[in-house]
Amino acid sequence: MPYFLIILASLFSSVSLIAQDKTTISGYVRDAASGEVLIGAVVQIKDTQNATSTNSYGYYALQISDPNTELIVSFVGYQFLEQTINASENKRYNFELISSDNQLEEVVVSVKKQNDNVTKAQMGAFNFTMEEVKNIPVVFGERDILKTIQLLPGIGKGGEGSSNFYVRGGGADQNLILLDEATVYNAAHLLGFFSTFNSDAIKDVELYKGGIPAQYGGRISSVMDINMVDGNNKKFAAEGGLGLIASRLKLEGPIVRDKGSFMVSGRRTYADLFLKLSNDETVNQSKLYFYDLNAKVNYRFNDKNTLYASGYFGKDDLGYGDLFSFDWGNATATVRWNHIFNEKLFSNTSLIYSDFTYNVNVSNDESDFTIASKIENFNLKEDLSYYADNKNTLRFGLNLLRQKISPASLSARGESAVNSIDIESRSGVEAAAYISHEWKPSSWLSMIYGLRATDFMVQGPGTFYNYDEEGDPVGEQSFDGGVIKHYFNLEPRLSLSAILSQEHSVKASYNRIVQNLHQLTNTTSSLPTDQYVVSSINIKPQYADQAALGYFRNFNNNAYEFSMEAYYKYMGNQIDFRNGADLQANIYLEGELLYGIGRSYGLEWYLRKSKGKLNGWISYTLAKSERQFEQINDGEWFNARQDRTHDISIVGMYELSKKWSLGATFLYYTGNAITFPSGKYQVDGRTLFYYTERNGYRMPDYHRLDLSATYEPRKENKRFHSSWSFGLYNAYNRRNAYIIDFRENEQNANVTEAYKVALFGIIPSVTWNFKF
């Protein structure tokens, strides 16, 4: 840690020295209608490459050398703004941009498209605002940012009935999903048919699959950073939708005009209401629904201080009469304080809590018990940005994260025929410090390099076991408290861009990331009951080293973006299980784990058109992802389940007229690697299957076409808008295999057969949306 401070101090002073005596203007860029801050808006000195973009709170700082400077402020989907400023000393300039949606029809909207994707050093990143993706077709008419992300290159889809995604061959638990900085542990509703992200409440999402900046850590494959909307601070507004499966409502408005606002957004499904129609008493008392609630308030005390508080609460509830119930959900809470020390130094302090819990209740004649499990974390973060000059930005910060896992414990009630079981909780504290320097040494080169240092401390109290080769416990150590073990890691990060011209560049990146939270999944579709473990005496931190190289090119005045990236990722300390592992309420759980390595590599192509009536993108990934464990597959490399040779997505959105817009997505990917039998035998008259090679087979290729149409009637009056969304999921009714299984033939038990189960055929949907 002291070394780290020295490095930080010296970098800081060297950058400060470079900074010349110039005027810095700073401020916020906002939406003119709602006052919502815009993230990633570009503030540029006209006719120069001197530009900066707003951070996740809408703040920018830019140095100018001439007091009279012409600026261009722009953001995707907004009319750009040209303004001449007159500043001879450091000064605040806040800008408001007008959304192209709110334009009078007569005005021709010219959206200035940026070439950030070419010139910025960052690679392997995507950014979407909800507005950009609103016409992409979705299942059951529910917009879902998590499913949209899966249409990008390098992001493997979890398939039907799963909100999982796999980034560059990594596991589903290797993605850091943040909602207003809070970790979301389980991003799935209804066993994966929906994600936990209600699109109404979301402003934008940033996804990193490589060259992950130093301010992020904790998951080795990707970061998905989601920002909630702050709420309209100019006027009260409501927005909602009625769909076949779910309904939504969002309310927002000023607390004090132009100073503070609130936003509340809720959603609930009502498929279970149909169960009430059943005349079977147990069935009509059954439950099957989810709801979620997002809320956020912000208040700007003065020019220098803004406070944000936001939270999410969601729950899924399944129940069968009084006999059985199963509920699970995430909760998050974030309090953030933005403080501007001076034009150049922006600080954000966050205090974050999030948890994920599940409960199972069983109550019948024999047994009456509850199983409860919880994982929670408290997180304190301090992030600072120092805008030294237009060529140097320093980001540095500290982070203290405490995670606690209370594994499934069973508590019996009354005269129950089961015993209560209490499994020790486990906790760990991760202290991290980072520094990262964004540097543009010349007009053709820009880079971000940084270092993150983490110290993961395994916390007591607890009893830890040692295991032999077979996984049987051979010794135990008890600890009262305090730190049992440190895992100290340095994580270097680098991305750089060689700008060949304003239209094309070559980028390279490298990152090392360490992960101390591990999810144990032994099913193909992860369940809410999957257990989490933190690094311990036996479980070492997972880590990944990833290197990537890319070529970025824009055409036609930035109307087309093209990129090609190649990557190689090595993953250490990966976890798998012994055959027949018992992962439930097992105090010797760690004895069931096996440790190995992984590697993945691939090529990704991406072509996007973002101007004109027709826009959308094509993405194609050619990739390989493998694992190696001494005790699995005779120690030979085997395909990871999510290994997909080919993965193609085509997304098209077309504005047919002022009233109608159309959307279509087509996807195709190689089936998952899977273990199928290579023979059969009989034991006690029962046919069993003989497995030889782990993941040696493939599911059939998956492909699907979804269509959508949105109808927006001419605005009848100024205040009230409504629209209809029609969707057709799986338009050509492809029966994609969800499961392939094997069984004895019913007529002749000597003969065995394979069968597949497909989940969805063609599904139409309709949703009515309103806004006022």
Closest contact distance (angstroms) between CB of 276 and another protein is 14
Q: Is 273 in the site for another protein (CB under 8 A)?
A: no
Give the span between the Cα atoms of 308 and 252, in whole angstroms. 15
Q: Is 754 in the site for another protein (CB under 8 A)?
A: yes
> How do beta strands 222-228 and 175-179 pair?
parallel
Q: Which of 32, 109, 244, 271 binds another protein (CB under 8 A)?
A: 271
Q: Which of 472, 614, 750, 766 binds another protein (CB under 8 A)?
A: 750
Q: Which of 149, 229, 362, 667 binds another protein (CB under 8 A)?
A: 362
Give the span between the Cα atoms of 682 and 750, in whole angstroms. 10
Closest contact distance (angstroms) between CB of 621 and another protein is 22
Q: Which of 31, 206, 576, 592 binds another protein (CB under 8 A)?
A: 576
Quick check: helix, strand or coil at residue 556? Answer: coil
Q: Which stretch binds another protein (CB under 8 A): 2-10, 189-197, 303-311, 433-441?
A: 189-197
Closest contact distance (angstroms) between CB of 726 and another protein is 19
Q: Is 757 in the site for another protein (CB under 8 A)?
A: yes
Closest contact distance (angstroms) between CB of 375 and another protein is 18
Q: Which residue's CB is nearer to another protein, number 46 or number 680?
A: 680
Q: Is 537 in the site for another protein (CB under 8 A)?
A: no
CA end-to-end span of the chain, whole Å? 53
Q: Which residue's CB is nearer to another protein, number 40 or number 192?
A: 192
Q: Could you tell me which of 487, 596, 505, 491 has the C-alpha nearest to residue 546?
A: 491
| CA 642 remoteness from chain centre | 18
Q: Quickly tell me which residue has 């076949």 as its tokens.
A: 244
Give the span between the Cα atoms of 458 and 464, in whole angstroms. 11
> How do beta strands 95-99 and 23-31 pair?
parallel
Q: Which of 118, 190, 226, 539 binds another protein (CB under 8 A)?
A: 190
Using the CB atoms, write b or e for 504-531: b if 16+ within 10 Å.
bbebbbbbbbbbbbbbbbeebbbebbbb
Q: Is 410 in the site for another protein (CB under 8 A)?
A: yes
Q: Which of 191, 351, 372, 398 binds another protein (CB under 8 A)?
A: 191
Q: Is 90 in the site for another protein (CB under 8 A)?
A: no
Give the span between the Cα atoms of 123 and 317, in whole angstroms. 40
Q: Is 363 in the site for another protein (CB under 8 A)?
A: no
Q: Is 1 in the site for another protein (CB under 8 A)?
A: no
The alpha helices in 337-397, defined as continuous H runs, are none
Closest contact distance (angstroms) between CB of 758 and another protein is 6
Q: Which residue's CB is nearer to another protein, number 425 or number 529?
A: 529
Q: Which of 127, 247, 363, 584 binds another protein (CB under 8 A)?
A: 584
Contact track, another protein, 326-345, x by CB under 8 A: x-------------------
Q: How many CB atoms lie within 10 A of CB 423?
A: 18
Q: Is 681 in the site for another protein (CB under 8 A)?
A: yes
Q: Is 755 in the site for another protein (CB under 8 A)?
A: yes
Query: What residues from 26 to 65 belong to the interface with another protein (CB under 8 A)?
Result: none
Query: What residues from 588 to 647 belong to the interface with another protein (CB under 8 A)?
Result: 632, 641
Sign of CA dihedral 665, 174, 550, 203: positive
Size of interface with another protein, in residues (CB under 8 A): 80
Q: Is 676 in the site for another protein (CB under 8 A)?
A: yes
Q: Is 673 in the site for another protein (CB under 8 A)?
A: no
**CA angle at 42 for the pair 40 and 47, rounded to the nearest 5°:** 160
Q: Which of 675, 711, 726, 770 binds another protein (CB under 8 A)?
A: 675
Query: Contact, 274 vs 255, CB < 8 A?
Result: no
Identity of residue 344: K
Query: Contact, 651 vs 614, CB < 8 A?
Result: no
Q: Is 680 in the site for another protein (CB under 8 A)?
A: yes
Question: Which positions ≥6 away from 368 have C-beta within 8 Å?
Answer: 362, 412, 413, 414, 415, 416
Query: What residues from 709 to 738 belong to the interface with another protein (CB under 8 A)?
Result: 735, 737-738
Give the span between the Cα atoms of 566 and 509, in whole angstroms. 10
Quick check: helix, strand or coil at residue 282? Answer: helix
Q: Is 521 in the site for another protein (CB under 8 A)?
A: yes
Q: Which of 12, 93, 320, 768 binds another protein (CB under 8 A)?
A: 320
